[in-house]
Structure 1
Amino acid sequence: MTATALLRSTRQFPVAAGLLLLASAAVHTVVLLLSGGPWDGPVSWRKPITFGLSFGVSVLTAAWICRLLPLAARTRALLLSAFTAASLLETGLITLQAWRGVPSHFNTETAFDTAITRVLAAGGVTLVVVVVALTIAALRPNPAAAPSMRLALRAGLVALTASMATGAVMIVRGLMLGGAGRLAEAYQSAGFLRPAHAVTMHAVLLLPALAWLLSRTRRPEVERLRLIRITIAAYGAVVALVTAAALAGLAVATPATTAAVSAGLTMAPALAFLSFGGSPKDTGRRKTA
């Protein structure tokens, strides 16, 4: 397959997959409203909604930012395809378990449920590997991007790596509790870092989106870079507060609700940008005023 064909396929597959995941979230929102089922708990329509929305946005984000990173065409195609496939797998299995009326994570009640739990863990490992690879790429020199965009990409991917790390911690904690026969405790307490996981997940779209929007203004690059630095510092402070509150067990709502609100506040402006804002092709350096 030629590099051109690879690029074409990596544009079509992630976009179609991302839209499919968002559509799944919308459908399951209707299902939740019609069924009146619980929002919290290990068995809830919340899970296909939140995973479909988060992974849908994440896949579309990856399709955009991969074009801004210094990656060879084949490497970009491999990483983006792996991220997309793992996102579809994770959301698909979580959705399947929701329709079966059983927990998706830490569930070892039957051989089938155990297999799904293990596949979910393997999908999580794949996502972590891809995100780390993208973060390493972002840390390399990239003269094709403006300094403000380079910094936004680096900070966003570092935040996403932190999100993957908190997710891994929760999965390991849940598996350990489940393996010790404390399954009820795993369902209740393993998700204690969900707010921190949610608030760090979509910085990788929010920060580069802000950098892109600033590049459409007449502000000189030195000022755009300063604004990105201020935004990163403010964002870091929010992440620190949310994480500290999660570790201390402080919350005004359940972890699931807090995570959904955190993700929504982080995601909403960036998703608007992805839908109506910049063109992925317009990634070059804008001349300073």
Structure 2
Amino acid sequence: MDRLHLVTGLVLVLSGLLHLLVFAVDGGPWDGPVSWRKPVTFGLSFGVTLITVAWVTSYLRMGHRLRSGLLTVFAADCVVEVGGITLQAWRRVPSHLNMETPFDTAVSMTLAVGGGVLVVLLTLFAVQSFRNRPTGPAGMPLAVRSGFAVLLVALASGAAMIARGVVLTRTGHQEAAYHSTAALKPLHGVSLHAVLVLPALAWLLSRTSWSEQVRHRIVAVGVGCYAAAVAAAGVWAVLTY
């Protein structure tokens, strides 16, 4: 794994943990558009995701320069996203869908564009995983491909949350926009980290003495269980949307 991306991911994780300490000291609500929850959860999530993608893409059959370039852009985008969210948390204003002032609009639009960049980069990695069979121990190709496939669900649900929120904001329903994403958050959260959990399972199994056939079957069962969890979150989203 490239050291730069690992260090950047760890810094983002540390940022999330530090803001958890800020929350413990400062207090305030955990939920809502203005809370310390956002720099905590986004710092941890983006940091873990960056470290995960840097590791998992090492199994993809693609040129080193191309992979390194895409990862560098991805890392920079993660920093911008967490930085914007953290800035707005300290200013005590919403980070997403906030069009109250020109500055808030600029931050909100930057985060939205950054989200679009994330979608493009992660989709490119996902396509690459299906174009050429990933390398790695037994079950890893299936885990990597399944992880990226489920990640596309997370990207789609994230895009849907932003799109719905922007529409509500533009039509004068600012408060409704802040609460419109609640139904999709479980689906987004569950599907976001399949790209870590499934390859990690394959890697852990490679440390055992079990046969390749057994390890592949266990990974397949893991994929099925994760797919069921994503489906359940999807059903819940549909019923509560």
SS in 2 for 1:192: helix
1:186 aligns with 2:177: yes
Q: Distance in 1 between matches of 2:150 and 2:229?
A: 12
Q: 1:90 aligns with which of 81, 84, 105?
A: 81
Q: CA deviation at 1:102?
A: 0.4
Give the structure-1-normalised TM-score: 0.81
- Go from structure 1 to structure 2 and tell me whether the alpha carbon gap of 1:143 and 1:247 turns closer, same or farther (over 3 Å shift): closer
Q: Distance in 1 between matches of 2:127 and 2:27?
A: 44
Q: Distance in 2 between matches of 1:36 and 1:145?
A: 45
Mapping for residues 1-289 of structure 1, pairs under 5 Å: 11-142=2-133, 144-249=135-240
Q: Distance in 2 between matches of 1:159 and 1:144?
A: 19
Q: CA deviation at 1:122?
A: 0.8
Number of aligned residue pairs: give it. Answer: 241
Q: CA deviation at 1:36?
A: 1.2
Letter in 2 for 1:27: L
Q: Distance in 2 between matches of 1:84 and 1:141?
A: 24
Contact map agreement 1:104 1:117 (CA 8 A) in 2: yes
Contact map agreement 1:66 1:80 (CA 8 A) in 2: no
Q: Distance in 2 between matches of 1:233 and 1:142?
A: 20
Contact map agreement 2:148 2:195 (CA 8 A) in 1: yes
Q: Distance in 2 between matches of 1:85 and 1:186?
A: 28
- Go from structure 1 to structure 2 and tell me whether the alpha carbon gap of 1:144 and 1:106 turns closer, same or farther (over 3 Å shift): closer
Contact map agreement 1:25 1:48 (CA 8 A) in 2: yes
Give the structure-2-normalised TM-score: 0.97
Contact map agreement 1:211 1:224 (CA 8 A) in 2: yes
Q: Distance in 2 between matches of 1:144 and 1:231?
A: 19
Give deviations 1:169-211, integer Å, cap 9, x for gaps: 0000000000001000001123320000000111101100100
Aligned Cα RMSD in Å? 1.3
Which 4+ runs in 1 deviate beyond 3 A?
none
SS in 2 for 1:193: helix
Give deviations 1:117-143, integer Å, cap 9, x for gaps: 111011001100111111111112337
Q: Distance in 2 between matches of 1:167 and 1:143?
A: 26
Q: CA deviation at 1:83?
A: 1.2
